[in-house]
Every structure is written in structure tokens, then in C-alpha cells.
Structure 1
Amino acid sequence: MPISGFPEWLPPQRMIEQFVLDKIRSTFELYGFAPLETRAVEPVETLLSKGETSKEVYLLRRLQEDDLSKKEDQLGLHFDLTVPFARFVVENHGKLQFPFRRYQIQKVWRGERPQEGRYREFLQADIDVVNRDTLPFHFDTEMPLVIGDVFKSLPIPPAVIQVNNRKVCEGFYRGLGLSDTAQVLRTVDKLDKIGPDKVAALLAETVGASDVQAAACLKLAEISGSDGSFVDRVRALGVTDPLLDEGLEELLQVVETAGEHAPGLVRAELKIARGLDYYTGTVYETQLRGYERFGSVCSGGRYENLASVGNTRFPGVGISIGVSRLLGILFGQNALGVSRSVPTCVVVAVPSEEQRADCERIATALRRRGIPTEVAPTAAKFGKQIQFADRRGIPYVWFPGEPDTVKDIRSGEQVEAVAASWQPPAADLHPVVTAG
């Protein structure tokens, strides 16, 4: 019986997932990120101190646990990969070369309400760069370039990475005279969910904002742009603060760098804040064109204070692709397909069970040259063996004989072939993933 929020893909979907993961992995490595895997569990207090709510963390305990009162010993499944990564950096900083660039592709668990594209067990693919003491800002500008290249390599709709900088928002709120900037951020982050009127009322209620201050916060949140014009629009609101200046300069750098690499990839969007408390500067959210209603499929940001040892800090910047989320949304809309339901390229037909050993030898010769091959399960009539291949989308059937022949069952063309040298067209060798 299926359990809500814990997806299990069928083999064709799993092949699409593997294809996507291969593209992600190869792009991450092209940019010099090294692979890492951390344990699935962390102490509960570590998880709860980084901005996640206790109702979303899954606890881990033995079935026969006697004493559940020892809070300090409780373990929880990680809800993202950034918190475990920060802990890993702290524990291994003496063995790492900085700046340290890593990628992680792992399952995470979050006890939120399941819906289309949003699960309780899901796969994430993260990249982060951390450094000792200070991290140069140019790493913030690199993150969207990597993600842009990943998405460009996949048969999916174009992606738009929305970027903001918390310094812009916090400096602006401070310049308005609102001191509890974190609360203002959290409130404005609800804009898409509850609308401007309710956000304005909440700002008055939670931080004592006047109508003028609330209106200014909402005006800032309306600003977006794919070029540097957003800076002038923020300046036109007439608020000044040194932190605001710093944030605008940084945000402009991200937008301009991405615009040169891939026009249209990045857009400054001053309403996004990201929910997690540990972000301190640049924040990213990514939407697929035509799928905006599903929200972000890739997000992240800059964090200054997530990891430290004594007086040494390890600031970082990272971004995470919600692989299961992305695929779940696209599967739900039949937007991805695969050319066959199995990896097999060739089925070797079996004329009689006495000849099965010869058929296995042919399959072995093909496999040695990298051609995915299986031998027919029974020595049925050749028509049925062809049907067996056809139902699975396998393009070729090999007939042992004097000489051997191979048939493209799509076109009906049948030619003589030698297992030691025959080669299918490159497009047929492996299943092909396409836009649905």
C-alpha cells in the first residue's frame, strides 16, 4: 500500500531520474565540485537550532527504546543537506583544503504536508563553497551559472533563477526605522500566500509598522528586473542605509554576471526571502517557465554563521536542486518521456532451449562491447519473441543462425551481423529521455 509523501518511481521514471542525476553530477564536476555524502541523522538539537520546526523533523529511535526522556541523545533524520554539511566542515576542517567546494546528492526527510511535487522523502542535489573566515563574493555569482548549465542540459522548460539579497531588505527596513528586520522578512515572505493587505496588517501587528512603513515594504517587494534597472527603482523609494547600498551592489553583480553567461537566466526579485534563518545575503529561488504555480525547484543562499570552531568561522554559499520535486512536477504533467521501458538494446532470440548456451555467448560478446543485451526468456515462436521485445520498446532482435542476423523491429529491416563487430546507431544504444 502506498504511503503518502514517499514516492516510488516505476522503472521508466527511475531511468529518467538516473539520466537527470548523471547530468547534474557531470555539470557539478565540470565546475570542480567534489563529491560528499554525510550520514542521514543528526542530533535533534542541531536540526532544531537551524530554522526548521520540530513538527517537520522525523525522530529516529530503536523500537525497544526504554527511556525516551534523554533529549540530548535523540537523533533526527536530516531535513536538508546544508546543516549536515556545516557540521561536517566543523568536524573535518583540519583535513580540508579551503575554499572547499563540494556536491551532495542524497535523500532528505521532512514531515510536511504532501502535495504534487512536495514529498516527505525526497532527493536533493546540493553544491556549496565554504571558506575560512571570509568568502569572496564572486562565489555567489557562480551559483546561478552552474544551475543554469544543469537545467540547459536537460529536456525541461527554461528555468528562471530569482535572486535577492537579504542585505537589501534588512538595510531598507532599517532605513525605514523598523528594527526587527528578521520579523519583517518573515512577514513579507508570506506575500504570495496571503496577499499585500494581510501582509500590511501583519507588519502593523508584529513590528508596529505605520501605514507608510508597511506601504514602503510592499513597494520594495514589487520590484523585479533582469538587468541593473532594479537598482534605480529601489533608490527612487528614497530610503538610505549602508547595508542597503552593500546589498544592492552585490545583487547587481549577480544579475550582471548571469546576464553575460546566459541572458534571461537570472532575475532580481525583491520579494523573495527564503524561510530558513541561516541565510545572511544572496538568496536564490528557481522556477520553470509554465510551472510557476508549483513554486521553486531549486533554491539556496549565502550563510555567514552556520559553521564555526572557536573564533574561526566558515562562511559559505550554496544552492540545492529539489530533484524529486522537479521530477514529480514534470511526471505529473507528462512532460518527460523515455524511449523504452528497459535499458536493453538487443534481445537475442532463442531458437530452442538446446541452443540457449550459444545465445548466451552472443549476448556476452555484445555486452563486452557495451551493448545492453538480454536473452529471450523462452524458446517460443519467433513472433512471440519479437512481441516480447516490442512491448518493452527494445529496438533490435538478434537471430542466431548460419549466418546470424539482426532485425530492427521498428522498420522491419533485417541484416547479417557478427556479434564481435555489429554496432547499433548511437541513438539506439541507450534509452533516450525527451520532453513529453
Structure 2
Amino acid sequence: MATKVTPISGFQEWLPADRIAELVVLDTIREVFELHGFASINTRAMETVERLAGQGEDADKEIYGVRRLAAGPDDAGDTSMGLHFDLTVPFARYVLENSGKLTFPFRRYQIQPAWRGERPQRGRYREFIQADVDIIDVGSLPDHYEAELLLVVADVFSRLPIGEYHIHVNDRKICEGFYRGLGIEDVTGTLRIVDKLDKIGADGVRKLLLEAGCTEEQAKQCLALAEIRSNDTGFVDQVRALGVEHEMLDEGLAKLAGIIEVANEHAPGVAVADLRIARGLDYYTGTVYETMLVRDPGYGSICSGGRYDALASDGKRTFPGVGISIGVSRLLGKLITEEGLTASRETPVTVLVAVNDEDSRRDSMRVATALRARGIPTLVAPKAAKFGKQIQFADRRGIPFVWFTGADGDQVKDIRSGDQQPADAASWQPPADDLRPSLVLPETP
């Protein structure tokens, strides 16, 4: 009996060439993270719901609960587990469990799937890959790490064909200090409302602020702060011009100015001080980041994060940290699905070894073994068909070279140019650019 296949929205499943493109991106991210001194960890997919919940206004709504289908009425333990919706919360738990075995400051990177129970839509998925870097310490964390993480992301994106982008940076202490200077007591609630500015506009935010108890003047000032944006330290004078004073505001302005100065020295044109950025999760306490593609800012942030001072604590010690997360699936949804980025071939194979006839297949296998031993991805032709068909087999898959064995010596053919040369499996090497698939941008008309 035939079974109808029903697609499930909110999941990415790539065809082979696109999957290779995804792997090239992931390998690039991993390479850069390691170049900057981050060590890899892996955490479990599930956490307790108690730990996952309470990290933001909507965090509990996004949690996928996990329960065995065969669980009985007395088996309540399973219902208290949920799939993690980001990698920061499980990382904080990991640090607490392993603090006696870790060397601080601990620099970690983590590339894993996460799951969110939100409505799938453009750029948003039920299951998605994140690539995180965090630096965490015991007791206190120097501010210079907050600028360093921005530069790590800039290094990653400089190696990928993502186009022009900006990392928008703010410090929650600016907002909190400003609100307190205005006499607003519900700082967290005000942050959450202002964070909706891009979604509901200034009039919508103003209305919500008034409903939350702000005066007309306070709402006006909150919106004025949120409109300040600068690619240099000029934002400091713009905030001062609003006439609000508070010690925490001074601290936040100094920190953000330092980050922008460092960014402009090492990655000019990348960072933007944007005082509307707040981030929805409650655990952020200082610097926050969101990254937008210049050509499509409405697509939303492809990389975000921030500083958290109290997410991890064992009651005696606090482990403050700062982290930033690249939304790999979100980024590739734009580059691959919408803009046609793909890989140069649909297989990692560099060389197809032709088979003259089935009696000589072992000769072809020996060549393949020799090439693989030197790190050259190699495939033996599945059939001893006519050479034209074997070349066609390679061409359809983007395999650049076909190897021919013969009593008078072997030859290798570049099927793109037609060039054919004598070759020895013990020494032949393809051009470096052909050894592995590469990313290919769609042709522009």
C-alpha cells in the first residue's frame, strides 16, 4: 500500500549540492572559531523545562516538550524535559556541572541544532543550526571580550559570500540607565516594548509605553533614544543632548564607545551603534548584538547575542559571560533558498576512475586506493560502460577529473577543458581549488 509523503514545514532538507554548500559554510565557521582560540563542546538536546523557561517573555511558549509516547500516568518525569531553544542556556548548565574541570576564562564554540515551537515563516524554522562562541569567567569578566567577539564574527563573514552587512551593537546599561534617569521603574518591561519598534513602529511602541504607565514625555524620550544610530562614537553626544543623567548610563556609553572604536580599527565599516537593539531574552545584562544584511534588513538578524552576568551561578560563585550566535540555518535560508548559492559540485569526489572492463576493475580500485591515501576524494565508476558515458557520469555530478588506466600508463582528463595528461597515482595532485567543492554564487544577468 502506497504511503503519501506529507511535508512538514519549518525544517531544512537540502539537495546534495546545497548540503555541500552548507558544510562549506560550517567548516569555515569552525575554522575561524578555532583560529581565535575557542574549544569545541557538545551539549545534550534536552534540558529541564524549569531551566529553559523564564528566559524571556515568550521563552516558555517556544519550548518543545519531550515525553515518551508509552509513558504512563505515573511517569511524569518525561514531561519536565524540553528541547533547547538556543545553545546559551545549556552552555550555562554545562559550565555549572563541569566548573571544577574547566580552565577559566573558558572559550567555547558549539555548532548544533536547536528547536523552537514558533510558527514557521521566512527565515524562521522549527529546527535550525546555530554556531555559538562564548567566553565565560569566574566572578568577573573583562569588557574587552565584548569587542573581541564582534571581531570573530567579522572574520567569519569576511570569508563567506554574504554580501554587505552591519553588526548593530548596543549596551543594555545605556537603556536601563536612561530609563532610570527618566524615573521609569519597570526597566525590563520598557526594554521589551522598545524591542518591538521594528515590528509595530514608533506609534505602536508609544501606545504600549503609555499603557504601561509612562508619561508622554517619558515615552517621547524613550523613542528618541531608540532612534540614535551611529557608525562612530558620535552617538555619545547625541544621547547627552537628550539631557538625561544616570551613573549606569555613563557606564554603558563608555563601554559601547570602546567597542565601536576597536571595531572600526580592526573591521572598519562593520559595526553600528544602534540604541534600539535590546534583545528579547532576559539574561542579557550588558552589550547586545544583532547583525543585518544591508540589502535586506527586513529579513531580520542573522547573528545575535550579548553579555550575561548572572545566567550561571552555583550559589557561591557567578560565572559571567559574553556570547554571540550565528544563525546558520537562517543565513542559508537567505543565501541558498532565496539567492541560489550552491556548491561547485554535488559530491565531494574530485576524481572518477574509469573502468575499462569488469575484469580490470581491480586495477581501477588500486588507483582509487592510492589517491585516497593522499587525501584525494575518489570514486570508481559503477559500470564498465563506454568511456563517453563514464565521462558523462562524472560531468553530471560536477566531478572535474576522470582517470584512465592502461598498459602503457595511466592518464587523467580534466573534463572541463578537455586537457588529458599522463599521471601517476602515487604523485599526481589536482589543483588546490579542485580538491574540495567550493561555494558558487548564481550568475547575475
TM-score grouping bracket, smaller chain normalisation? over 0.9
CA distance in 2, matches of 1:187, 1:174: 16
Structure 1 vs Structure 2: percent identity of aligned residues? 61
Aligned CA distance change for structure 1 residues 73 and 61 (closer, same or farther; 3 Å) = closer
The Cα offsets for residues 147-201 of structure 1, whole Å up to 9 and x where unpaired, read as 0001111122132100001110111111111111111111011111111111111
Give secondary structure in 2 for the equivalent of 1:309: coil
Give yes or no for the alignment of 1:112 onto 2:101.
no
Match of 1:343 in 2: 348
Given that residues 260 and 272 in structure 2 are in contact (C-alpha distance below 8 angstroms), is that contact kept between their aligned partners in structure 1?
Answer: yes
Residue 218, structure 1, aligned to residue 223, structure 2? yes
Which secondary structure state, in structure 2, belongs to the residue aligned with residue 313 of structure 1? coil
Q: Is the 8 A contact 1:145 1:258 kept in 2?
A: yes
3-state secondary structure, aligned to 1:101: strand
Deviation at 1:334, TM superposition (A): 2.6
1:262 aligned partner:
267
Of the three residues 315, 327, 335, the one matched with 1:330 is: 335
Shift of 1:380: 0.9
* TM-score when normalising by structure 2: 0.95
Checking the alignment, whether the CA contact within 8 Å between 1:151 and 1:158 is kept in structure 2 is no
Which is worse superposed, 257-266 or 61-70? 61-70
Q: Residue by residue, what CA displacement relative to the aligned partner does 1:322-361 show, whole Å, maximum 9, x if unpaired? A: 1111111111223422111111111111111111111111
Tell me how far apart the structure 2 counterparts of residues 237 and 189 of structure 1 sit (CA, whole Å): 20
In structure 1, what is the Cα distance between the partners aligned to 2:149 and 2:75? 43
Distance 1:268 1:334 in 2: 28
Give the corresponding residue for 1:404: 410
- Matched residues in 1 for 2:162 and 2:176: separation? 35
Give the gaps of 5 or more residues in structure 2: 1-5
How far apart in 2 are the matches of 1:146 and 1:230? 24
SS of alignment partner, residue 61 of structure 2 = helix
> Could you tell me which residue of structure 1 aligns to residue 129 of structure 2?
123
Aligned amino acid, residue 256 of structure 1: E
Kindly report the root-mean-square deviation, in angstroms, between the aligned alpha carbons of the 2 structures. 1.4
Query: How far off is 1:73 after superposition?
Result: 6.0
1:20 deviates by 1.1
Residue-by-residue CA offset, 1:62-111 (whole Å, 9 max, x unaligned): 11111278479611010011001111111111111111111111111101
* 2:86 corresponds to 1:63: no
In structure 1, what is the equivalent of residue 395 of structure 2? 390
What number of residue pairs does the alignment pair up?
435
The one of 154, 164, 167 aligned to 1:158:
164
Offset, 1:2: 2.5
Task: After TM superposition, give the deviation of residue 141 of structure 1 in Å.
Answer: 1.3
Distance in structure 2 (CA, Å) of the matches to 1:97 and 1:424? 42
Query: For residues 76 and 401 of structure 2, what CA distance do their matches in structure 1 show?
Result: 62
Specify whether residues 418 and 118 from structure 1 end up closer, same or farther in structure 2 by C-alpha distance, changes over 3 A only: same
Q: Which runs of 5 or more residues in structure 1 are unaligned?
A: none
User: Residue 110 of structure 2 aligns to a residue in which SS?
Assistant: strand
Match of 1:53 in 2: 59
* Separation of aligned partners in 2, 1:421 and 1:95: 46
Flag as ranges the 4+ runs of structure 1 deviating above 6 A.
none
Aligned match for 1:30, one of 30, 35, 40: 35
The answer as to whether partners of 1:162 and 1:269 remain within 8 angstroms in 2 is yes
What per-residue deviation string (whole Å, max 9, x for no partner) do you get for residues 214-273 of structure 1? 111111111000101000000000110111101100111111111111111110000010
Code of the aligned partner of 1:54: D
Q: Secondary structure at the match of 2:99?
A: helix
Superposed counterparts of 1:29-428, under 5 Å: 29-51=34-56, 52-67=58-73, 70=76, 74-206=80-212, 208-401=213-406, 402-428=408-434
**Alignment pair present for 1:430 and 2:436:** yes
With structure 1 as the length reference, what TM-score do the two structures score?
Answer: 0.97
